[in-house]
Amino acid sequence: MSIRRFVSFGLKVSISLFFLGYLFNAVHWQDVWSHLKQADSFYLVLYLILGFAGILVSSIKWLVLARSHRMSPSLSYLVSLYMVGYFFNNFLPTSIGGDVVRGHALGTAFGRKPEAMASVFMERFTGFTALIVFAVVALAFDSALRADLRLVAPIVFAVVVYAGIVAALVSSKWLELGAKWIPMKVVQKLLLKIGAFQQAIQMYRHEPAALWAAGGYSILFYLVSVLIVYVGCLTFHATVSFASLLTAVPVLLILFMIPFSFGGIGLQEWAYYFVLEAVGVPASIGLSLGLLFRARSVGFGLMGGAVYPFITRGNFVHDPAPLSKPAK
What Rg value do the Cα atoms of the chain yield, rounded? 21
Under a CB-based contact definition with an 8 Å cutoff, are residues 106 and 66 in contact?
Answer: yes
The answer to the question of residue 246 being in a domain is yes
- How many CB atoms sit inside 10 A of residue 239's CB? 10
| HEC assignment per residue over 257-317 | CCCCCHHHCCHHHHHHHHHHHHCCCCHHHHHHHHHHHHHHHHHHHHHHHHHHHHHCCCCCC
The answer to the question of residue 111 being in a domain is yes
* pTM of the full structure: 0.86
At residue 317, the pLDDT reads 76
The answer to the question of residue 273 being in a domain is yes
The answer to the question of residue 158 being in a domain is yes
* Amino acid making up residue 254: I
Rounded CA separation 220/217 (Å): 5
The answer to the question of residue 128 being in a domain is yes
The answer to the question of residue 9 being in a domain is no
Under a CB-based contact definition with an 8 Å cutoff, are residues 233 and 289 in contact?
Answer: yes
Contacts of 61 (CB under 8 A, 6+ apart): 123, 126, 127, 213, 214, 217, 218, 221
CA angle, 186 then 191 then 193, to 5°: 100
The answer to the question of residue 269 being in a domain is yes
Rounded CA separation 258/254 (Å): 7
- DSSP H or E run through 55: helix 41-68
- DSSP H or E run through 172: none
The answer to the question of residue 3 being in a domain is no
Q: How many structural domains is the chain composed of? A: 1
Q: Max CA-CA distance within the chain?
A: 63
- Give the domain range for residue 255: 41-311
Indicate the burial class of 316 (C-beta count within 10 angstroms; 0-12, 13-18, 19 or more).
middle
Along the chain (328 residues), what's the average pLDDT of each consecutive run of 10 residues?
70 84 86 92 96 96 92 91 89 70 89 89 92 89 81 88 86 69 70 75 87 94 95 93 88 84 83 89 92 93 89 66 45
Rounded CA separation 247/133 (Å): 11
Contacts of 263 (CB under 8 A, 6+ apart): 16, 89, 90, 91, 92, 93, 94, 95
Short-list 307, 324, 328, CA closest to 72: 324
